[in-house]
């Protein structure tokens, strides 16, 4: 193991510290770290971290939260917050309003971003795929029941849809979301992937992270194994073994020291600092993940690097998937409720739900119907959508889908679809319409689009995601998909996407 000790490197970084699943703003953090917690202490009353498993507004680990007025962001490789799009399988953390039902701010939090350094190899027994990204183990789940998450890994890309994890060869650029858990077979913490997105090109920085396994020396952390990758730089006091960290590192530095120590600025948080997140009062939190380091005597475990105190009457085992809620304290989360548990060996698939008002789907043709709803590609075989039969592409309907991803690289396969035909979509409904841009006013952030049935006025603001393929402002004649909140014939856009960009989510 090499240790790079030169002081000549200046490392621009952004730390997304997943202790409690919450990135906290520290004076030592660079880039947009502080923006992650917008709303906490100023209207936000709770914190939620989990995996996106559907869209109505958004389903995080099966629980729906409204996103009508939410800000969705993701830090770019310079640590700067950018407007982002929620996608299936992403891991997100969100601040929740006083109703407990609506998102104020959601931050997309990938765990790794960079090149595949060991190509995917399929396990003959489970069918799962194992690879390394930046030297860290990643498990691509081939069947939902193979892991207590109950999710098959979503494999997506910009461009041609990847059909198999076998395409994850050495050098492929990827962004990976998932849950860290100790894997005894690899004697290391591995990232059980909920989403692997193939990126179109390398970025200037790579995102490396994992679970701290040792503090080998001053200003050093070792992650994911012992011995594991050593990250070297500025490590504040308070960093403890078991925390989950991530940091952006210049690609040229990583390339020169692949597999060895990499200099970076690490800003870490001890448990005592965690209590400060709740401000003047106790902060509620909800967190999901796979259990590691469970102590049956004290009922203490770590979930996604967060120290969790479970109720004395409740027993779990390492590898179980739990969703807990409780209060932030000086020793992590003091759990008041275990909302969900899937024990290893007795797994039920996690249902993916997608709901939206839309048209343009011809249900009358019969057979298998393929469509995109809220950015999610879905196929529905005849017999799963009997309530939709007879509706033409010009028919507007509220479409509700339940289904699953059968294998990485495949769309959501519906187990049931229900349709409720509407002449006038209900005010405030989450809608998804496709059409052609007829006119644009950049000064007022509005456009008019023609869809299958009628014309719609679309408005957008600084929080709207606009597909880079469209430029900064959609142009005349462009074919677009818009989803957002409908009021009469005006659609307040959450996202405006090109229908010709080849994006697959």
Contacts of 7 (CB under 8 A, 6+ apart): none
In order, the DSSP letters of 451-470 are -SS-EEEEE--TTSEE-GGG
φ/ψ (deg, to 5) at 454? -160, 180
pTM: 0.86
3-class DSSP state of 40: strand
SS3 content of the chain, % helix, strand, coil (to 5): 5, 50, 45
3-class DSSP state of 127: coil
Query: Per-residue b/e over 361-394, b at no fewer than 16 CB within 10 Å?
Result: bebeeeeebebbbbbbbbbbeeebbebbeebeee
CB 489 within 8 A of CB 439: no
Q: Do the bridges between strand 173-183 and strand 220-223 make them parallel or antiparallel, or are there none, so unpaired?
A: unpaired
3-class DSSP state of 416: strand
CB 268 within 8 A of CB 239: yes
| Separation between Cα atoms, residue 129 and residue 124, nearest integer Å | 9
Q: Taking the chain, what is the end-to-end CA distance rounded to the nearest angstrom? A: 38
Query: Per-residue b/e over 434-465, b at no fewer than 16 CB within 10 Å?
Result: bbebeebeeeeeebbbebbbeebebbbeeebb
CB 327 within 8 A of CB 306: no
CB 423 within 8 A of CB 454: no
* Helices and strands: H and E segment counts in the chain: 2, 35
Q: Which CATH superfamily, name and number, covers 430-504? A: Copper binding periplasmic protein CusF (2.40.50.320)
> What integer pLDDT is reported at residue 15 of this predicted model?
34
> What integer pLDDT is reported at residue 263 of this predicted model?
52
| Separation between Cα atoms, residue 58 and residue 67, nearest integer Å | 7
> What integer pLDDT is reported at residue 154 of this predicted model?
96
Q: Do the bridges between strand 321-329 and strand 284-295 make them parallel or antiparallel, or are there none, so unpaired?
A: antiparallel
* Six token digits for residue 436: 């052609």
Domain map (residue ranges) of the chain: 11-347, 352-421, 430-504
Q: How many other C-beta atoms are found inside a 10 Å radius of the C-beta of residue 158?
A: 16
* Six token digits for residue 501: 């960009």
Strand intervals (E) in 56-128: 58-60, 63-65, 71-75, 81-83, 91-96, 103-108, 112-122
Contacts of 8 (CB under 8 A, 6+ apart): none
Question: 448-463, pLDDT tens digit by residue?
Answer: 999 877 889 999 999 9
> What integer pLDDT is reported at residue 92 of this predicted model?
93
> What integer pLDDT is reported at residue 120 of this predicted model?
97
Q: What is the pLDDT along the chain (505 residues), one digit of tens a residue?
A: 333 322 222 233 333 333 322 222 222 222 222 222 222 333 346 788 899 999 988 999 888 898 888 889 998 777 678 999 999 999 998 888 888 889 999 999 999 999 999 999 999 999 999 999 999 999 999 999 998 889 999 999 876 667 889 999 999 999 999 999 889 899 999 999 999 999 988 888 888 888 889 988 887 889 999 999 888 776 656 678 888 887 788 888 777 665 555 555 443 323 333 434 444 445 677 888 888 888 999 888 888 777 888 888 888 888 888 888 877 766 677 776 777 778 777 788 889 999 999 988 989 878 899 999 998 999 999 999 988 988 988 889 999 999 999 999 999 999 999 999 988 777 778 899 999 999 999 999 999 999 877 889 999 999 999 998 898 899 999 999 998 998 888 999 999 999 875 545 6
SS (H, E, C) 255-306: HHCCCCCEEEECCCCCHHHHHHHHCCCCCEEEEEEEEEEEECCCCEEEECCE
H or E stretch covering 251: helix 251-256
């Amino acid at each position: 193991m090499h240790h790079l000790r030169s002081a000549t490197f200046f490392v621009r970084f952004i730390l997304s510290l997943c202790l409690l699943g919450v990135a906290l703003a520290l004076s030592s953090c660079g880039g947009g770290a502080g923006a992650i917690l917008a709303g906490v202490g100023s209207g936000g009353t709770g914190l939620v971290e989990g995996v996106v498993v559907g869209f109505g507004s958004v389903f995080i680990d099966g629980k729906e939260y409204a996103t009508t007025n939410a800000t969705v962001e993701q830090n770019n490789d310079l640590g700067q917050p950018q407007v982002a799009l929620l996608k299936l399988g992403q891991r997100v953390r969100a601040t929740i309003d006083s109703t407990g039902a609506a998102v104020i701010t959601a931050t997309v939090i990938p765990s790794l971003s960079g090149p595949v350094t060991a190509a995917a190899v399929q396990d003959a027994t489970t069918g799962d795929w194992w690879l390394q990204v930046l030297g860290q183990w990643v498990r691509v789940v081939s069947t939902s029941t193979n892991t207590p998450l109950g999710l098959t890994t979503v494999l997506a890309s910009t461009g041609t849809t990847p059909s198999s994890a076998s395409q994850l060869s050495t050098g492929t650029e990827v962004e990976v979301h998932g849950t860290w858990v100790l894997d005894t077979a690899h004697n290391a913490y591995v990232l059980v992937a909920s989403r692997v997105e193939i990126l179109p090109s390398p970025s200037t920085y790579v995102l490396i992270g994992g679970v701290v396994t040792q503090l080998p020396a001053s200003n050093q952390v070792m992650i994911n194994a012992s011995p594991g990758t050593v990250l070297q730089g500025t490590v504040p006091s308070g960093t403890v073994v078991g925390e989950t960290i991530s940091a952006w590192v210049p690609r040229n530095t990583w390339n020169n020291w692949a597999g060895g120590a990499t200099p970076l600025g690490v800003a870490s948080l001890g448990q005592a600092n965690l209590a400060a997140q709740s401000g003047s009062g106790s902060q509620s939190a909800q967190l999901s993940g796979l259990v590691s380091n469970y102590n049956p005597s004290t009922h203490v475990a770590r979930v996604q690097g967060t120290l969790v105190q479970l109720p004395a009457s409740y027993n779990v085992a390492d590898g179980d998937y739990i969703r807990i809620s409780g209060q932030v304290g000086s020793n992590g989360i003091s759990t008041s409720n275990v909302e969900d548990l899937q024990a290893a060996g007795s797994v039920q698939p996690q249902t993916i739900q997608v709901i939206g008002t839309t048209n343009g789907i011809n249900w009358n043709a019969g057979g298998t119907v393929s469509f995109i709803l809220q950015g999610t590609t879905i196929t529905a075989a005849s017999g799963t959508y009997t309530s939709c039969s007879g509706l033409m592409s010009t028919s507007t309907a509220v479409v509700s889908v339940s289904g699953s991803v059968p294998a990485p690289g495949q769309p959501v396969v519906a187990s049931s679809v229900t349709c409720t035909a509407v002449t006038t979509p209900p005010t405030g409904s989450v809608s998804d319409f496709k059409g052609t841009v007829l006119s644009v006013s950049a000064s007022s952030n509005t456009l008019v689009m023609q869809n299958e049935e009628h014309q719609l006025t679309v408005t957008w603001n600084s929080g709207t995601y606009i597909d880079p393929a469209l430029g900064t402002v959609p142009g005349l004649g462009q074919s677009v998909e818009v989803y957002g909140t409908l009021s009469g014939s005006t659609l307040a856009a959450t996202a405006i996407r090109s229908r010709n960009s080849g994006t697959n989510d």
